[in-house]
């Protein structure tokens, strides 16, 4: 009975999370259509996800590349405000209009990676 309840709870969580997963797959045109606060929550949510991935994967030897890949951004953006992070991503988006059909997630990564490499 307990296992069944846990299974039902897991399914419910997946169903409830589905809209937010779909939102993560938006392209830059869709991202640009969001309000400033929605864009900020999107970017901060990505960084939080990367932060959790880095924390979970730190002890796994095979995941060194992933930890390095996202760890630099997580460390760099840690002291930044929500507005600073949003400005970095929004400026990158505005500078690349020919790529607005591309993934918003990859644009956010490229923007933050570029800013953190300086």
Domain-located, residue 10: no
Domain-located, residue 5: no
Domain-located, residue 109: yes
Are the C-beta atoms of 57 and 63 separated by less than 8 Å? yes
Domain-located, residue 38: yes
Q: Which pTM does this prediction carry?
A: 0.75
Domain-located, residue 18: no
Nearest to 92 by CA among 78, 104, 80: 104
* Host domain of residue 64: 26-116
How much is the pLDDT for 9?
Answer: 46
How much is the pLDDT for 6?
Answer: 47
Domain-located, residue 7: no
User: Measured between alpha carbons, how far is 65 from 72 in angstroms, rounded to an integer?
Assistant: 11
User: Measured between alpha carbons, how far is 78 from 48 in angstroms, rounded to an integer?
Assistant: 10
Nearest to 74 by CA among 38, 42, 109, 30: 109
How much is the pLDDT for 82?
Answer: 95
Are the C-beta atoms of 45 and 91 separated by less than 8 Å? no
Domain-located, residue 13: no
Nearest to 112 by CA among 86, 94, 79: 86
Instruction: Give the three-class secondary structure for 33.
Output: coil
How many domains in the chain?
1
Domain-located, residue 104: yes
From first to last of the 118 residues of the chain, give the pLDDT tens digit. 544 544 444 554 555 554 555 555 899 999 999 999 999 999 999 999 999 888 888 877 767 777 888 889 999 999 999 999 999 999 999 999 999 999 999 999 999 999 998 8
Are the C-beta atoms of 73 and 47 separated by less than 8 Å? yes
């Amino acid at each position: 009975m307990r296992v069944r309840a846990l299974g039902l709870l897991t399914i419910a969580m997946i169903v409830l999370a589905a809209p937010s997963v779909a939102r993560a797959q938006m392209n830059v045109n869709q991202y640009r259509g969001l309000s400033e606060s929605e864009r900020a929550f999107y970017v901060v949510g990505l960084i939080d996800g990367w932060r959790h991935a880095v924390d979970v994967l730190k002890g796994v030897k095979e995941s060194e590349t992933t930890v390095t890949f996202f760890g630099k951004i997580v460390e760099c953006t840690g002291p930044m405000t929500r507005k600073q992070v949003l400005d970095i991503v929004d400026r990158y988006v505005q500078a690349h209009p020919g790529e607005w059909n591309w993934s918003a997630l990859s644009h956010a990564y490229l923007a933050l990676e570029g800013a953190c490499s300086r």
